[in-house]
Amino acid sequence: MTKDNLINEAIKIRDKAYVPYSKFPVGAALLTESGKIYTGCNIENAAYPVTCCAERVAIFKAIADGETKFSEMAVAADTKRPVPPCGSCRQVMSEFFQSDMTIHLTNLKLDIKTISMENLLPFSFQPEDMLEK
């Protein structure tokens, strides 16, 4: 699985986005350590805050399927710069991704920003923070 394949999957799944309100489709593709790809698109709701972003849909699909080890993610949207994930998605990513995991953020012109989990959400609240005193 190459970076380009993963990015293509993220771009392709945008076609499935349910975005009647924003008309802003986003796609995400998550690669497991075992080589499987879980894709996600954003799914909006008439009660706007109930919307779930593409990144979280992909992660939640994988978790619900029993996957826990991930190696790479790609996120794509029609933005001027590579699409920056929202704060909620960054927090969910940090729950499941190792700090050195690679995330490829892209737009449709294929301006790609590749960033580690640690750099995407530095000093993030972790499960261990509730244990260590």
Ligand X SMILES: O=c1ccn([C@H]2C[C@H](O)[C@@H](CO)O2)c(=O)[nH]1
Q: Which residues are annotated as a binding site for Zn(2+)?
A: 53, 86, 89
> Residue 66, SS3?
coil
* 86: DSSP letter: P
The residues near 46 (Cβ < 8 Å, ≥ 6 apart) are: 21
Look up 128 and say whether it is catalytic: no
Q: Which residues are annotated as a binding site for substrate?
A: 42-48
Q: Does 39 bind ligand X (CB under 6 A)?
A: no
45 binds, among ligand X, Zn ion, none (CB under 5 to 8 A by kind): none
Residues at the annotated binding site?
Answer: 42-48, 53, 86, 89
Considering only CA atoms, which of 111, 48, 54 is closest in space to residue 79? 111
CB of 35 to ligand X, least distance (A): 25
- Specify which residues 27 forms β-bridges with: 41, 76
Does 44 engage in binding with ligand X (CB under 6 A)? yes
* The only residue of 10, 74, 85, 103 in contact with ligand X, by rule CB under 6 A: 85
In whole angstroms, how close is the CB of 108 to ligand X at the nearest point?
A: 14
86/108 with CB nearer Zn ion: 86
Is 82 a residue that touches ligand X (CB under 6 A)? no
Nearest residue to 69 via CA among 44, 101, 25, 47: 101
Contacting residues toward ligand X, per CB under 6 A? 19, 22, 24, 26, 42, 44, 51, 53-55, 75, 83, 85-86, 89
